[in-house]
Chains A and B, each alone.
Chain A
Amino acid sequence: MKNPEEIFELLKKEFPEAILGIDKEAPTEPIILIDPPQIKTISLFLRDNPELRFDSLMVLSGVDDANGTKVKDEDGTDVISGGTLSVYYHLHSVYLKHKITLKVSTPRGNPQVESVYNVWRTSDWHEREAFDMYGIIFLNHPDLRRILMPYDWNAGYPLRKDYKNPEFYQGMKVPY
C-alpha cells in the first residue's frame, strides 16, 4: 500500500515529461496532473507495475472547468470560449488497497484525450458518457457514440456550462 505522494514520486521518476504536477490542497485528495496524450502509457504502467497494480478504474468523469472567457454570441447568450475541459480518473487497487486520482486537462476548442479502453474495460461507457455530455473526443476508442442522449441529438453537449436547450426535439416541445 502506497500513499499518493509515493506514487507521484515513482511516476515522476518514470515519466518526467508527462507528469505535470500534483495538487494536494485540503480538503481535496491529492490529484496528479498528466499530459493528455500520455495518459494511456501511464495507465498501463500503473496497472502492470507490481508495486502499484491499479487493476480497477472506479470512475472516469468529464468536467467543464469553465475557466475560459465569456463572450456573447449573435443571439445575445453567453458562450464560453477558451479554457479547458478536464477528465478525472479515480483508480483503485483491489489487491493492494490504495487509491489515486489522475487528471488531464485539454483545450475546450479541440478536446482530445487518449482512450484507456484497452487498459480498463470499465472506461468504455464512462468515456462514451464524457463524450456525450462534454464532447471530449477519446482517441482510439472503438465505439465512440452518444450513450445517454438520443443518437440523433444535435443540440450540443448538455453538461457544458454554456449549453442551451433546443426549443423542439422531433416535434416535441422541450422547455416547460
Chain B
Amino acid sequence: MALKTETMILNMGPQHPSTHGVLRLELELDGELIVNVKPHIGYLHRCFEKHAEAMSYPQVIPYTDRMDYLASMYNNFGYVIAVEKLLGIQVPERVEYIRVIMGELQRIASHLVAIGTNGLDIGAFTPFLYLFRDREKILSLFEMTCGARLLYNYMWVGGLSHDIHPDFVRLTKEFINYFRPTITELNNLLTFNKIFIERTANIGVLPLDTAINYGVTGPSLRGSGLAFDIRKEDTYSIYDRFDFEIPVGQGLVGTVGDSWDRYYVRILEMEQSLRIIEQAIDQIPDGDVKAAIPKRIKPPKGTVYTRVENPRGELGYFIISDGNLNPFRVKVRAPSFVNLEVFGELCKGHLVADVIAILGSIDIVLGEVDR
C-alpha cells in the first residue's frame, strides 16, 4: 500500500550565501527531490528605467554601470552603441579598438567571478582565491585607464572618458602572458577535479529547444550546443575584423547542456577573449578618443533596439526617443533576467544541493535581473 505523502515548501534566500545576491527561491520538495521552484525577484529593483527617463542621454551611462556590476564596461558598450545608432554617428577607429579590448578584458573578469563563485558554492574555496587574485590584475588595468575599479562610466556616446595610459599596451600584453598558464592551472585545480565533475556533470541539463523557447542566451545557450554569439551573428563595433571561435558545450564528461558544459564554455571563452585582445592590442591606431563626442545629445524621434554579447548573454537596449534631451523610454533586455526564467525547469527532479550548482552555472547577477 502506497504511503500518503505531501510536499514541503522550503524557502531559500533572499539572504543566502549561494544565491549570488538577493534572490529568493521557493522550493517545493518531495523528500529531498525538487518538485517545483518558484523564483521571487525584485529585491534589488533600483528603478533603472525610471531614472533613464529622468536623465539626459549621457547621464544614463553611470546607471547602466550599476545594472550588471560585474560587466560594467559591457553595459556601457551596449548603451552607447544604441545611442550612437540613434544619432547616426561614427566613432573613431581608436575608440572602437579600445572599446573591444576593454569589453573583452571585462568578459574575462566577469567569467573569473562566475567560475570562482560557482566553485565556492559547491565547496571549492581555493579556486575562488586564485581567480580573485587574477581578477585584481584586470581591475588594475581598468583603474589605470579610468580611475575606477568596479563601475567605470568609461564609454561615452561618441568616445571614451579617458585615453589609455601609455603603459596600458605593455601591461596588457604582460597580463595575457601571465594569464594563459593560469587557465591550465585552473583546469587542473577545478575543471577536471573529480568532485567538481561529480557535482556538475549531468546536473541541470538544458535541451536546446527549451533553451531557445525560453530565450536563453550567452554561455548557457552555447553550453547546450548552439554556436550563437551576437559578436558573430549580428556583429557590432569591429568584431568582424577579429579571428575567434565560438566554443560550445560538447558533453565531455556528461550530457550536452549540463552544468559542467555551461561552466566549461566560460573557460574556453576566456581563451578566445585573450585571442581577440592579442589581435587588437597591436593595431590600435592613433587619434583622439574624445573627438566625436557631441556637445549636445539630442537624437531625432525614433526607436532603436541594439544588442551586444554581454558576458552573460544578449544584452539589448530598446530606446525610444521623442526628440528631447532625455530618452522617452529605455527598456533593457537583461540576459540574467531571461536566463533565470528557465531555472525552475532545470531544477526539477534534482536534489536540493544541486540547486546551487545549477544556479552557479547559469551565472546571474541580481542587479541586472531586477534592474
Q: Given A58-B333, A148-B45, A150-B42, A27 and B214 touching (CB < 8 A)?
A: no
A149 neighbours in B (Cβ, 8 Å): 42, 45
Residue among A26, A55, A63, A125 making CB contact with B341, cutoff 8 Å:
A125
Please encode chain B, from 287 to 319, with 1 for each CB lying within 8 Å of some chain A CB and 0 for all others.
000000000000110111101000000101010
Least CB distance, A22 to chain B, in whole angstroms? 13
> Is A84 among interface residues, defined by CB-CB distance under 8 A?
no
A121 and B49 alpha carbons, distance in the complex (Å): 23
> Is B50 among interface residues, defined by CB-CB distance under 8 A?
yes
Q: In the bound complex, do residue A122 and residue B42 qualify as a contact, i.e. CB atoms below 8 Å apart? A: no
Where chain A touches its partner, the secondary structure class is loop
Q: In the bound complex, do residue A148 and residue B370 qualify as a contact, i.e. CB atoms below 8 Å apart? A: yes
Least CB distance, B219 to chain A, in whole angstroms? 16
B226 neighbours in A (Cβ, 8 Å): 94
Please encode chain B, from 332 to 349, with 1 for each CB lying within 8 Å of some chain A CB and 0 for all others.
010001100110000000
A64 and B342 alpha carbons, distance in the complex (Å): 28
Least CB distance, B301 to chain A, in whole angstroms? 8
Where chain B touches its partner, the secondary structure class is mixed
> Is B233 among interface residues, defined by CB-CB distance under 8 A?
yes
Q: In the bound complex, do residue B214 and residue A122 qualify as a contact, i.e. CB atoms below 8 Å apart? A: yes
> Is B47 among interface residues, defined by CB-CB distance under 8 A?
yes
> Is A56 among interface residues, defined by CB-CB distance under 8 A?
yes
Q: How large is the interface on A (under 10, 10 to 19, 20 to 34, 35 or more residues)?
A: 20 to 34
A122 and B215 alpha carbons, distance in the complex (Å): 6
> Is B358 among interface residues, defined by CB-CB distance under 8 A?
no
Q: Enumerate 18 A-B pairs (CB-CB under 8 Å) in ascending A order.
A: A29-B305, A55-B212, A56-B212, A59-B333, A88-B331, A94-B212, A94-B226, A101-B303, A120-B215, A121-B341, A122-B338, A146-B42, A148-B41, A148-B42, A148-B45, A149-B45, A158-B47, A159-B53
Q: In the bound complex, do residue B341 and residue A90 qualify as a contact, i.e. CB atoms below 8 Å apart? A: no
Q: In the bound complex, do residue A59 and residue B318 qualify as a contact, i.e. CB atoms below 8 Å apart? A: yes
Q: In the bound complex, do residue A27 and residue B86 qualify as a contact, i.e. CB atoms below 8 Å apart? A: yes
A75 and B270 alpha carbons, distance in the complex (Å): 58
A125 neighbours in B (Cβ, 8 Å): 337-338, 341
Q: In the bound complex, do residue A58 and residue B316 qualify as a contact, i.e. CB atoms below 8 Å apart? A: yes
Q: In the bound complex, do residue A31 and residue B303 qualify as a contact, i.e. CB atoms below 8 Å apart? A: yes
Q: In the bound complex, do residue A27 and residue B341 qualify as a contact, i.e. CB atoms below 8 Å apart? A: no
A88 and B370 alpha carbons, distance in the complex (Å): 20
Residues 17 to 65 of chain A near chain B (Cβ within 8 Å): 25-29, 31, 55-59, 61, 63-64
Least CB distance, A26 to chain B, in whole angstroms? 7
A147 and B320 alpha carbons, distance in the complex (Å): 23
Q: Given A59-B318, A63-B320, A63-B329, A120 and B341 touching (CB < 8 A)?
A: no
> Is B213 among interface residues, defined by CB-CB distance under 8 A?
yes
Q: In the bound complex, do residue A124 and residue B302 qualify as a contact, i.e. CB atoms below 8 Å apart? A: no
A94 and B222 alpha carbons, distance in the complex (Å): 13
> Is B196 among interface residues, defined by CB-CB distance under 8 A?
no
Q: In the bound complex, do residue A120 and residue B213 qualify as a contact, i.e. CB atoms below 8 Å apart? A: yes
> Is B88 among interface residues, defined by CB-CB distance under 8 A?
yes
A61 and B371 alpha carbons, distance in the complex (Å): 14
Q: In the bound complex, do residue A55 and residue B316 qualify as a contact, i.e. CB atoms below 8 Å apart? A: no
Q: In the bound complex, do residue B314 and residue A29 qualify as a contact, i.e. CB atoms below 8 Å apart? A: no
Instruction: Across the interface, name the chain A residue whose C-beta is closest to B85.
Output: A27
Instruction: Across the interface, name the chain A residue whose C-beta is closest to B303.
Output: A28
Q: In the bound complex, do residue A159 and residue B49 qualify as a contact, i.e. CB atoms below 8 Å apart? A: yes
Please encode chain B, from 36 to 64, with 1 for each CB lying within 8 Å of some chain A CB and 0 for all others.
00000110010101100100000000000
> Is A164 among interface residues, defined by CB-CB distance under 8 A?
no
A96 and B86 alpha carbons, distance in the complex (Å): 26
Residues 116 to 167 of chain A near chain B (Cβ within 8 Å): 120-122, 124-125, 133, 146-150, 158-159
A97 and B232 alpha carbons, distance in the complex (Å): 12
Q: In the bound complex, do residue A25 and residue B213 qualify as a contact, i.e. CB atoms below 8 Å apart? A: no
A101 and B370 alpha carbons, distance in the complex (Å): 24
B303 neighbours in A (Cβ, 8 Å): 28-29, 31, 88, 101
> Is B228 among interface residues, defined by CB-CB distance under 8 A?
yes
Least CB distance, A28 to chain B, in whole angstroms? 4
Instruction: Across the interface, name the chain B residue whose C-beta is closest to A88.
Output: B318
Residues 187 to 201 of chain B near chain A (Cβ within 8 Å): none
Least CB distance, B38 to chain A, in whole angstroms? 9
A28 and B228 alpha carbons, distance in the complex (Å): 26
Residue among A88, A97, A122 making CB contact with B233, cutoff 8 Å:
A97
Instruction: Across the interface, name the chain A residue whose C-beta is closest to B86.
Output: A27
